[in-house]
Amino acid sequence: MKQSLTPLITFCLLFSFSSLVAQTKIVGECSLLFQITNADTGDSIGQKNVYVKGEQCKTVIETTQLKQVLLFNARQDKATITKDIGASHFLQVINYPPTSTPNVISMKALLADSSLQILGFNCKSVELILSDGVVYQIWYAPEMSTTVSAFELVFKEVPGLVLSYKIIPLKGKSYLYSATKIDLSPIPLSQFNINTNLYQVIDE
């Protein structure tokens, strides 16, 4: 009896997520600002900007020691990473997604009445466990998504716009990313340009 119910339970879960996706508004241009904090102490680490325009996506992480930019097109298999560390500036073109990317092995939604309001959106929560043991605890707005929803690769299966997430490794510090601003204004194409003359190119 247990074996015959398993496919039915799986189907119901998949149907539930697909229904959410069907009701989600997809926006083609969006900017998000996340504040990054140490999840254990609450200390500020830096900030992360996310820019989505059509199939293009740019993420910018800035701390006191580092500025890192990831630029990719969802229809292409390459991405560009730049890193500014003090007076040193590096650029690398990589395969994207990288072949070493951990897989999501578990996705568990919390109870339907578990919600949190972020930037005016009623958000739901889901927990992802990756093959390397890292855990993502995510709050997302099911009513909206962007044309490139996976500005973090693990967000690919999340049925909505991620507005808060905690990264919990097997060892070391946990980090919390909390959206503090969302902007649906048009983004200039120049935002996705890179002046390669400023960087030392590193081979993959």
Contact by Cβ (8 Å): 196, 71? no
Read off the pTM.
Answer: 0.85
- What's the CATH fold of domain 2-202? outer membrane lipoprotein receptor (LolB), chain A (2.50.20)
Say what the pLDDT of residue 111 is: 63
By C-alpha distance, which of 149, 107, 103, 116 is closest to 17?
107
What's the mean per-residue pLDDT of the chain?
88
pLDDT tens digits, one per residue of 129-138: 999 999 999 9
Say what the pLDDT of residue 66 is: 95
Sorted by sequence, the CB contacts under 8 Å of residue 73 that are 6+ apart come out as: 55, 56, 57
Indicate whether 6 pLDDT > 60.
no
Indicate whether 7 pLDDT > 70.
no
pLDDT tens digits, one per residue of 40-79: 999 999 999 999 999 999 999 999 999 999 999 999 999 9
Tokens, residue 119: 């930037």
Q: Distance (Å, rounded) from C-alpha 178 to C-alpha 201?
A: 32
Q: What is the DSSP string of 120-142?
A: TEEEEEEEEEETTS-EEEEEEET
Say what the pLDDT of residue 189 is: 95
Contact by Cβ (8 Å): 134, 166? no
Contact by Cβ (8 Å): 164, 118? yes
Say what the pLDDT of residue 113 is: 55
Q: What share of the chain is helix, strand, coil (3-state, %, to 5)?
A: 15, 50, 35
Q: What is the DSSP letter of 22?
A: H
Band (114; pLDDT cuts 50, 70, 90): low
Sign of dihedral through CA atoms 73, 78, 84, 90?
negative
Say what the pLDDT of residue 121 is: 94
Phi, psi of 160 (to 5 degrees): 165, -175
pLDDT tens digits, one per residue of 139-193: 999 999 999 999 999 999 899 999 999 999 999 999 999 999 999 999 999 999 9
